[in-house]
Amino acid sequence: MKPVTIYTTPTCTYCKMSKEFFATNNVPYTEHNVATDLEKRKEMVEKSGQMGVPVIYVGDEMVVGFNRAKLEQLLGL
């Protein structure tokens, strides 16, 4: 399975939905809280051009927001 990385904030509803989706489908992921980790926030903006969360990477593919269909496709679910 491709590595999954998610950039989140604690108050983000779509971040919570994304993490619940990963848990339900037994998808391991690395989470970066960009509300407190300024380096990861800078990294997220530089890589994605986005200020909003979640920003999710499945391998090299970026998904902005919680897009179940796209995540299922990228993860082969």
pLDDT in tens, 8-43: 999 999 999 999 999 999 999 999 999 999 999 999
Token match 């980790």: residue?
Answer: 37
Domain positions in the chain are 4-75
DSSP state for residue 68 in the 8-state scheme:
H
- One CATH from 3.30.70.20, 3.40.640.10, 3.30.70.270, 3.40.30.10 for 4-75: 3.40.30.10
Q: For residues 8 and 62, what is the distance between their CA atoms, to the nearest angstrom?
A: 14
pLDDT in tens, 39-57: 999 999 999 998 899 999 9
